Amino acid sequence: MAEFVTLEVSEGIGTIRLARPPMNALNRQVQDELAAAAHAATVDKAVKAVIVYGGEKVFAAGADVKEMAEMDYGQIRDAIGGMQAGLGAVASIPKPTVAAITGYALGGGLEVALSADRRIVGDNAKLGVPEILLGIIPGGGGTQRLARLIGPAKAKDLVFTGRFVGADEALAIGLVDEVVAPDDVYTAARTWASQFVGGASRALAAAKAAIDEGLNTDLESGLKIEQHLFAGLFATKDQAIGMESFIANGPGKAEFTGE
């Protein structure tokens, strides 16, 4: 049983909970447990959408610096692939995902949040990638996902300076998608995730794959990816259910099975 990361499933929504007090420092054990939780959320058919949550006080204040400080070049070279996989594991979940952020989301913590499809934060949130202040750079996907999300100039500003941004600035630059009161963060995340509980799961997975894979290639290749995923949905039960329901009853009334 995992010690610091759990997956709880309720009403079709899976919550991956980070719980390593006091600041949810993301050591190698947490990274491995996060990867395991993401896999469990992926294979559990009862899970239709996923929330990543660090609790009422803090999301995650970064990787475990004490652990990393003891590693030499050879050790970190061997470990970095696993670190990227763990901190970015949420991106591999083929379902809608949302990071629910209160307090700090820094360094590896922000990298975990960047791997979600959406980020909802409390108005007390502080976000940043302060690795440069340690003489290193983000190594859990931060340089790549951040630049793709907010553009290279804004990403370089955050990475070069290591500064923290508050909720309002984070919303203005596109780093987060919604700002609410801290006590409402998890509820807001559930509200967003609940939209997909009765959805066409395979179509949602295809939509996510088309966007994510398309961003990693040129437009022509992306359009071919879209063609392939679009055509594949005509082998699903939900495609037939959705189109038959539309013809008979109009839009938005289909009762999908997820198959």
- Strand 118-122 and strand 178-180: the pairing is parallel
Is-cis flag, bond preceding 21, omega within 30?
Answer: no
Which residue among the candidates 111, 169, 220, 259 is catalytic per the annotation? 111
- The gap from C-alpha 11 to its chain's centroid, in whole angstroms, comes to 20
Q: Does the active-site annotation cover 56?
A: no
| Contacts for 161 with CB less than 8 Å, ≥ 6 apart | 132
Q: Does the active-site annotation cover 11?
A: no
- Strand 178-180 and strand 104-106: the pairing is unpaired
SS3 state of residue 174: coil
Which residue among the candidates 3, 67, 131, 244 is catalytic per the annotation? 131
What secondary structure, in 3-state letters, does 45-108 show? CCCCEEEEECCCCCCECCECHHHHHCCCHHHHHHHHHHHHHHHCHHHHCCCCEEEEECCEEECH
Q: Residues with catalytic annotation?
A: 111, 131
